[in-house]
Amino acid sequence: MTYHLPVILTSNDFAVLETMSQQWTEPFAGAADILRRKLSAATVMFPADIPSDIVTLNSRVRFGIGTMQVDERVLVRGPAEEIYGMTMLLTSPRGLALIGAAVGQTVAAVRRDGSVEQLHVEAVPYQPEQKRASAPIQFVPRHELAKPKWVASPYGGTDDPGPSAA
């Protein structure tokens, strides 16, 4: 099954899974056992350090289902974020199997009826952690923050309304 494969989770994803494992109701039979095994096998990393080929929450993942079709979905946490045909819930058998998997891995998803299907991770076209990590940070000197920058008005003067506006 999935458990001997490397599982890499962000600290946030680990916390979400840990919270799920402590809930009394299981989303499907055997989910609590899968969660416990996944959490015990996980390597936890800061979001900025996670490799770009790892499936995390809110990642778009392309995966093959057995020898059948290839599907692409965004892995979301709960029903409030679900968009039919575009997303996959973390609490689904496939979502739980895919989180923490890497491109090239084949993971087993235990279906609600007890049967097992093999999911092969083809690609992670979008991962939010990499988007944040690659966003440039712009530093503004403190003295620049204190100076108001008035824009000239086409009617003359500036757009500063002055004390009469108070």
Per-residue pLDDT of the chain (166 residues; tens, 9 = 90+): 434 578 999 999 999 999 988 876 888 888 888 888 899 999 999 999 999 999 999 999 999 997 778 999 999 998 889 888 899 999 999 999 999 999 999 999 988 777 889 999 999 999 998 866 555 555 656 555 555 555 555 555 555 666 666 5
Q: Output the CA angle 60-64-67, nearest 5 degrees.
A: 175
Give the tokens for residue 161: 């309304």
Rounded to whole angstroms, the Cα distance separating 164 from 61 reads 57
| Residue partners of 39: CB distance under 8 A and separation at least 6 | 14, 17, 18, 21
Q: Strand 7-10 and strand 42-45: pairing?
A: parallel
